[in-house]
Amino acid sequence: MNAVNQIDRQAPLSTDETRRKVIGLDSLTKDFGSVRAVDNVTFDVFAGEFVGIMGPSGSGKTTLLNILSLLDVPTGGSYRLDGVETARLTEAEQVVIRREKIGLVFQQFHLIPYLTAVENLMLAQYYHSMADRGEAMEALDRIGLADRADHLPSQLSGGEQQRVCIARALINDPALILADEPTGNLDEGNEERVMGLFKELQAGGRTIILVTHNPDLGAQTDYVIRLQHGRRVA
C-alpha cells in the first residue's frame, strides 16, 4: 500500500473521534537561502479542531500554511498528515491529497477569468469527480451569491470573488480546510457569514486552520498558535 492510500481522504471526522491526530509537526523548519521563515515549530492538530495561526507580517504564517497544504516542503523536521510522513509522498500523491482531502482558501483569488462563478465551482468538482451545476448553485447560495452565479470574475467585487473562492474550496467537502486571511476582502456582514460557515463545518467534524491577523477572528477559534520571526511563542 502506498503512502497516499494510508490516508483516509474521505474519513467523516465526527465529534466522537476528536483525539485523532490530523496534523503533527515536530521541529519543522523552512529556509529560503539564509533566511529562516519557519524555525523549529512543533504542534499537533486533532480532528474537529478550529485552530488560528496569528503573528505579525513576516512571522512565517503563510509559509507554514503552504507546507501544511503540501504546496511547499520543509527544510527540516517532520510533518505528518493523518499519521503519514509527508516527506514520503510523491508529487502525484500530494496532488491527490490536495484534491480530495484539503480545501484551500488563499488571499489571492486564482479564479479562471473566462469562467463564470458557477463554472469555476464546477471546474473544481470536475477535478474531484463529476461536475454538478445543482450542487455548485447550492454552494453559491450558502455564501449569498446565487444571484451572481453567471457573472465572470471581472464582474464581481473583490469580496464577491473571495466568497466564490471559499465556496470553491468547500465544494468537495474536504476533511481539512486551510484558510489564509479568508475574510481580508470582506465587509463585516460577509465576514460574519464566512465565520459562521466555518463553525458549521467544524460542527460537522471538519478540521480548520485559519491564518489571520484579526484578533477578533482568532478569538472565535478553539485556540491560537502565535508565531514571531518564524518561531512559535507563548
Give the helix/strand (H/E) hosting 210.
strand 207-211
Same-domain pairing of 93 and 35: yes
Domain span holding position 137? 116-172
Same-domain pairing of 90 and 25: yes
Does residue 179 carry a pLDDT above 80? Answer: yes
Rounded mean pLDDT of 181-185? 83
Q: Is the pTM of this model over 0.75?
A: yes
- pLDDT tens digit sequence for 13-61: 334 455 799 999 999 999 999 999 999 999 999 999 999 999 998 899 9
Tally the C-alpha atoms within 13 A of residue 162's C-alpha that lie toward its C-beta.
Answer: 19
**Residue 108 forms part of a structural domain:** no
Residues 6+ apart with CB under 8 A from 95: none
Mean pLDDT score of the chain, rounded to an integer?
Answer: 88
**Residue 10 forms part of a structural domain:** no
Does residue 227 carry a pLDDT above 90? Answer: yes
Does residue 220 carry a pLDDT above 90? Answer: yes
**Residue 226 forms part of a structural domain:** yes
Same-domain pairing of 85 and 181: yes
CATH classification at residue 83 = 3.40.50.300
What local confidence, expressed as pLDDT, does residue 226 receive?
A: 96
What local confidence, expressed as pLDDT, does residue 17 receive?
A: 53
Q: How confident is the model at residue 5 (pLDDT cuts 50, 70, 90)?
A: very low
Rounded mean pLDDT of 168-197? 87
Same-domain pairing of 49 and 90: yes
Same-domain pairing of 179 and 148: no
Quote helix, strand, coil % in the chain, to nearest 5.
40, 25, 35
Same-domain pairing of 64 and 136: no
**C-alpha cell of 170?**
468547500
Q: What's the total number of domains in the chain?
A: 2
